[in-house]
Structure 1
Amino acid sequence: MNKKPPKFRKKAPAPPKPRPGKHAPIPPKTYEVKEATELLAFLLTHMTQEGRNAIKSVLSRGQVSVNDKVVTLYNHPLQPGQTVTIRKEKPIELPPLIGLRIIHEDEDILVIEKEAGLLSVATPQENEMTAYRQLTAYVRAKDADNRIFVVHRLDRDTSGVMMFAKSEKVQQIMQNAWKEMVEERLYVALVEGKVKQQEGTISSWLKENKAMKMYSSKYPNDGQHAVTHYNVMQSNRQYSLLEVHLDTGRKNQIRVHMQDIGHPIAGDKKYGAQTKPIGRLGLHARVLSFTHPTTGEALRFETSIPKPFLNFSKGDAPNV
């Protein structure tokens, strides 16, 4: 008599293997400050299982923050209403950032100040360090799934404020409603020659030639409409420092428009400059003001005018 083949039970699917280097993080502990004191004294009353030296080590490793800002000084003063957060794990070692600094970060956006000479994003022909690549490495150090998305760009030789999104959704919100959400884009430009008219507006239709150089078309409605407003901050016979507001954000818009009025940006050989006094393009994105894409909060970020811009335009300044 043939025996029936044994029945095999289907095995339950094995749980997914954890990613290398990933584990469930230990949640931080947060305490509210009830009375004025110093940080070490506060920690001693709440970390009763730890000795004084162990607590000092936790402080030195950056595992303690006050109102979400890391504090390492043991005598840091605390005030009622503040919150102290203690993390069990060592803070993540973030990669160094070269040619840029982060001036704002939240769950949805990153705002940076970029130095001249650093590409915002690589082009197909270029394979070098960019702001985009550095910030991608920065967010992925916190979580391998994190990404960033380009919202707008600055030319390689333009310094100043720019922003990135942390999700494709936020990127689309900002790009689709850029004109409505951005309240102010203010640049400073060091241009050749003395600009005689104290303020002015330049309006033209921009096109790109086969050499990928932008220019103002002679014909209306021929290209992309671009509007630039400027105000003279200070000037001398050789150079003028202009405050420049944009109504539109076309490629190389300020550079073309400065050439159009006969005062190309210093160092901008591509658009007619004869001099390079500061060793770089004399253009800096000083202010970016916009409505936050998810909270609706009005945000404004302002950076300093580069000192060489001020030094080379010193002179008969109408309103410095």
Structure 2
Amino acid sequence: MPSKNMLPKGQRRRTVKPEYRATRGVEPPAPAAIPLLEVEDDAENHVRSVTVPSEASGLRLDQYLAQAIPDISRSRVQLLIEHGQVQVNGQPAKASIKLQGGETVEIEGTPHPPPLHAFPEDIPLTILYEDDSLAVIDKPAGMMVHAGAGVAAPGAEADERNHGTLVNALLHHFNKLSHVGGELRPGIVHRLDKQTSGIIVVAKDDSTHRKLSEMFAGRQLEKTYLALVHGTISRDNTTVNLPIGRDLVRRTRMTTRRSVDSEGVRPAVSHVKVLERITSERYGSFTLAEVRIETGRTHQIRVHLQALGHPVVGDTLYGAPHHIGKPPETLSLERNFLHAARLVFEHPTTRKTMTLESPLPSELEKLLAALRVD
């Protein structure tokens, strides 16, 4: 079945580059502002009744509530709806119901999840370096750095939001950690995406934490990543200097297509160096690249490589296919092929130059080997 995004028949040879270039950097029209609801988490069984404003006409129920209730995620709203805690005009409703304005929405219980408390868990850690001031950890893919915005089912004894994170492991392995980042982020100076592996620095005291934070802010550390991307990057060295901001349509993504003057859009610079070009008859073409970043924006490398037209292998959020090659012989990767391989910085206490390196994880080496053999 043809895609609804295809050009009309007879125009499919026409290029859409002019339209793309014309819209680049142009801020999309802002949606109507949704009035916020004042919500107090005072009683689990309290029922709040609100009338849907006209500004919410055309929105899904979960979209409206996520925008109207401060500091609540859409996933939390959907969980409330699934458990029958939200009704529209006195009837149980689905998250996908489209609102027209004027409906009565009733919310039972507290929309916000209970507060999280970091606690130690006996989770194995690979420690690359440790002294009295800091530690350098080799984080595996699949591990979140700290508790996120996920939610647990109502009544669950253990809150799954706060299990299996790097913070849980740190609290078990180290006697002291800095508190600058707050109770949920002890020791955490910077972060890596969940599906990105590699080097992360942890501060053991507040003074070291502040000094490291200043070094990150002042771009005084050299951070180098290894990435395998789809397609062939033609130039051996490329600098991507594109500001990054939140995608206003798909909120889980970041984008380079918003105006630099827009709220929340920040400068970002990545230097891409080609290490190897791989061409496989069975699986296609790929480029293994070394990426050195000057800034540390959310999803920066993934977004910049996508902007070049070369998404990171395994990164389906930014356009990479779920499977490599064509059936029946395909390869897959349950993570992003992105690894924080090298970090160079001046130790904030001893002033010695620290050079830490992490080898590629085995699953990434195996994928590379399969592509090279073919």
Contact conserved, 2:123 with 2:164, CA < 8 A, in 1? no
**CA shift digits 1:46-82 (9 cap, x unpaired):** xxxxxxxxxxxxxxxxxxxxxxxxxxxxxxxxxxxxx
Whether 1:107 and 2:132 are equivalent positions in the alignment is: yes
Aligned to 1:174, the other structure's residue is in SS state helix
Whether 1:308 and 2:366 are equivalent positions in the alignment is: yes
**CA shift digits 1:127-158 (9 cap, x unpaired):** 22111111111113xx7x98741110111100
Partner of 2:141: 116
| Distance in 2 (alpha carbons) for counterparts of 1:242 and 1:117 | 22
2:234 to 196, 203, 218: 196
- AA of the residue aligned to 1:303: S
2:319 to 272, 284, 289: 272
Partner of 1:224: 266
Aligned to 1:157, the other structure's residue is in SS state coil
Query: How many aligned residue pairs are there?
Result: 219
Partner of 1:52: none
Q: Higher strand proportion, which one?
A: 1
Shift in Å at residue 278 of structure 1? 2.8
Partner of 2:17: none
Partner of 2:245: 207
Shift in Å at residue 289 of structure 1? 0.9
Question: Compared with structure 1, are the counterparts of its residues 151 and 309 closer, same or farther at alpha carbon in structure 2 (3 Å cutoff)?
Answer: farther
2:306 to 245, 248, 259: 259
Q: TM (normalized to structure 1)? A: 0.63
Q: Structure 2: give runs of 5+ residues left out of the alignment.
A: 1-119, 151-160, 180-185, 280-284, 324-331
**CA shift digits 1:165-200 (9 cap, x unpaired):** 001221111112325474310000011112222221
Contact conserved, 1:187 with 1:286, CA < 8 A, in 2? yes
| Distance in 2 (alpha carbons) for counterparts of 1:298 and 1:208 | 35
Partner of 2:194: 156
Partner of 1:165: 203
Contact conserved, 1:161 with 1:285, CA < 8 A, in 2? yes
Percent sequence identity over matched residues?
Answer: 32
Aligned to 1:224, the other structure's residue is in SS state coil
| Distance in 2 (alpha carbons) for counterparts of 1:297 and 1:97 | 30
Question: Compared with structure 1, are the counterparts of its residues 288 and 312 closer, same or farther at alpha carbon in structure 2 (3 Å cutoff)?
Answer: farther
2:293 to 246, 250, 255: 246
Aligned to 1:155, the other structure's residue is in SS state coil
Question: Compared with structure 1, are the counterparts of its residues 266 and 312 closer, same or farther at alpha carbon in structure 2 (3 Å cutoff)?
Answer: farther
| Distance in 2 (alpha carbons) for counterparts of 1:151 and 1:138 | 17
Aligned to 2:269, the other structure's residue is in SS state strand
Shift in Å at residue 310 of structure 1? 3.2
Alpha-carbon RMSD: 2.4
